A and B are shown apart, each in its own frame.
Chain A
C-alpha cells in the first residue's frame, strides 16, 4: 500500500489543519493519525508516521511518541474486522468475561491475536462509555451493544458476508 493521501484525503487533511491557529498545525496530529490509519490499511507503519510528520512539518519522534501513547492507534497490522470488547467493571458485571471467552472460542484466537485468514482480530479494551448497554464492543466506527452469544454469532456472520460481497 503506497503511503500517500489521495486527493480526497488531502482535502480532509487540509480541513483538519485549518481548525487551528497559524503555526499550530501540530494540533491536528491526533485527527491526522486517525485519517492515516483509515487510509493506510487500518494501522500505522513507521512509513505512515514519517509521512504524517512530513505533512505537518514536525519531527518523526513527535509523531511516534503520540502514536505509542494512545490506545486507538494500531502499531501492528490488524484483521479486516477488529473486535474491541470492553472488560472493565460495569461490563464485567453484565457478563463481558463470558462474551470475550465465547468470541475467542468461536474464532479460535486469544485476545491480541488475529485469525489465520486475516479476517478477525480480538482485542480487549477498557471502558468505552457504554456501561448501560453492556456487554459491548466497538466494531469500526460503531458500538455493538447488549451482546449475547447469539448476537456475537450474527456479527461474525455479518462480517463474513460483507467480506464476501466486497471481494
Chain B
C-alpha cells in the first residue's frame, strides 16, 4: 500500500470542515512550527528535499532561503492556485476537498517567511472554490490559528483569496504578481527575482498549492523522515492527475517509486485502458512536456523500466525522455490522432500567449495554422520541416517559459510521430476518414499486450 501524506484523510466524512480536520490531527504542524524559529522551519524544508510541485521542480527550501529581508519592508507569501496546465487538476482536488490542509501549510509557511498578509491567487474558472477556502479561513480564524497574535506568539497572519479571470500565463510567477496588482498578466524580466522585488515591489515567495500543503507533513514528521520517502532527489509524495483514455481518471498520490506501467495498468491507479484498446502514447507531466510513444514511456531507451519520478521520467533528455512537470498525466489510446492532439495544444498556447514576445505571439499562431492544414488534409511535406523550424525559433527566445511550453509538444510530436504527420500529408482524404493507429512502433503492442 502506497504512502499517503496529503490525501490520507481525504475520505473522512466532513474533512472539508474544521471539526473533522482538527480531530484527525489537523493544525498540529502549526503548534509545532510556531515554537520553532523561522530559520529552523526553512532548514526542515531544505532537508526534506521538497521540490516545487507546480511543474519546474525547483527545491522549495532553497527558494525560501532567497527571500530578501530589508528592514521595515513587509514580505509576502503568495500561493499559486492558477492551475491551468492542460491535464492538471490536482490543486483543485486539494482545495476543494482538503481546504484546511492548504490553510495549515500556508500558516506555517507564512511564519517561516515572515508574511503577515498571504494571498491565494486562484484561477477565475474555479469560481466555487474561493467560497470553500474562505469558509476554511474563517473557521481557522475563529479557532485562533489566524489573525492577531496566533497562539500567543505575537505572529499576525491574514490569508486572502483572489480570483484570476482566465489566463494560463498567470501561473508564471511574475505574471501572477502583475495580475495580483490588477494588471495584464505580462511576465516580468528577471532579475530582479520576486524574492527581492515581487508584489508591490516587496520581497515575495510564490509557491504552488501542493508544495505548500506538503509543508504540513514535513513539519510533522521532520525533513529527514520526509526525505526517506521516494527515491533519489524525488522525495516525498506527488499528486498525479490522470486523464485521457484510462478506466479510472482522477487524482492519485504516489510515492514516486512505482513504475509507469504499474501506474497505468494497476487497479489501484488508472486501471488500464478502456475497451481493450492499446496504449499509443502519453504526455506524463502536463501538456507542455514531451509526448512519448508507448515503447519509450514504459521503458527508457536503454530498455530499463521507467518510473514515476523526476529523474526516470526525464531519462534520455528530450530525445527519448520527458518530464514529471505538474503531474498532469494524459493517456492516448490506439484510436487517437497525434496530429489532432498536437493541434489542440498548439491552439491552446496560441490562445494563452500574452503577446509580449514576438517569437511566441507570432510563432504559436503559425504553428496552429500549419497543424490545422496538416490535420485537415491541406498540408505539404515541407510544412513538417517548417513546424520544426518555428518551434526551434520560439524555444529559449522569450521572457517566460510559455514559449518553451508551446514549442516542446510540437517538437516531441514530430520527433516521435513524424510518420503520422507524413501519412496525413500523403493521404489527405483517407486521413479525414480514419486515424493512423499504432502502425509505426510494432513493439509497443507486445509491451502492452498484458
Interface string of A60-77 (1 = CB under 8 A from B): 001001100111110000
B271 smallest CB distance to A (angstroms): 12
Docked Cα-Cα span, A19 to B182, in Å, equals 13
Is B180 an interface position by the 8 A CB rule? yes
Q: Which residue of A lies closest to B291 (CB)?
A: A89
Interface size on B (CB < 8 Å)?
56
Q: Which of B200, B283, B348 contacts A24 (CB 8 A)?
A: B200
- Contact between A89 and B241, CB atoms less than 8 A apart: no
Docked Cα-Cα span, A117 to B86, in Å, equals 34
Is A110 an interface position by the 8 A CB rule? no
Q: Which of B126, B200, B243 contacts A131 (CB 8 A)?
A: B243
B48 smallest CB distance to A (angstroms): 27
Q: Which residue of A lies closest to B331 (CB)?
A: A93
Q: Which of B124, B181, B182 has the most CB of A within 10 A?
A: B182
Provided the pairs A131-B330, A142-B127 are in contact, do residues A31 and B162 lie with their beta carbons within 8 angstroms?
yes
B7 smallest CB distance to A (angstroms): 14
Is B352 an interface position by the 8 A CB rule? yes
- Contact between A24 and B181, CB atoms less than 8 A apart: yes
Provided the pairs A19-B160, A131-B328, A132-B241 are in contact, do residues A34 and B165 lie with their beta carbons within 8 angstroms?
yes
Docked Cα-Cα span, A142 to B351, in Å, equals 23
| Interface 9-mer from B31-39, B61-69, B221-229, B339-347 | B339-347
Interface string of A15-40 (1 = CB under 8 A from B): 00001010010111111011000000
A137 smallest CB distance to B (angstroms): 11
Is A155 an interface position by the 8 A CB rule? no
Provided the pairs A89-B330, A141-B127 are in contact, do residues A72 and B344 lie with their beta carbons within 8 angstroms?
no
- Contact between B163 and A34, CB atoms less than 8 A apart: yes
Provided the pairs A88-B345, A89-B345, A132-B249 are in contact, do residues A70 and B167 lie with their beta carbons within 8 angstroms?
yes
Docked Cα-Cα span, A92 to B87, in Å, equals 12
Chain B contacts for A90, CB-based, 8 A: 86-87, 243-244, 287, 330
Chain B contacts for A87, CB-based, 8 A: 344, 347
Q: Which residue of B lies closest to A30 (CB)?
A: B165
Chain B contacts for A127, CB-based, 8 A: 84-87, 168, 287, 348
Docked Cα-Cα span, A128 to B89, in Å, equals 9
Is A41 an interface position by the 8 A CB rule? no
- Contact between B84 and A30, CB atoms less than 8 A apart: no
Is B332 an interface position by the 8 A CB rule? yes
Q: Which residue of A lies closest to B333 (CB)?
A: A93
Q: Which of B123, B184, B352 has the most CB of A within 10 A?
A: B184
A72 smallest CB distance to B (angstroms): 4
6 A-B residue pairs with CB within 8 Å = A27-B200, A30-B179, A31-B162, A66-B183, A89-B87, A89-B283
Q: Contact residues of A with B, CB < 8 Å? A: 19, 21, 24, 26-31, 33-34, 56, 58, 62, 65-66, 69-73, 87-90, 92-94, 125-134, 138, 140-142
Q: Contact residues of B with A, CB < 8 Å? A: 74, 83-89, 92, 117, 119, 123-128, 160, 162-168, 179-185, 200, 241-245, 249-251, 283, 287, 328, 330, 332, 336, 340-341, 344-345, 347-348, 351-352, 354
Interface pairs A-B: 9 shortest CB-CB: A29-B182, A71-B166, A70-B165, A132-B249, A72-B166, A131-B243, A26-B182, A127-B86, A69-B184
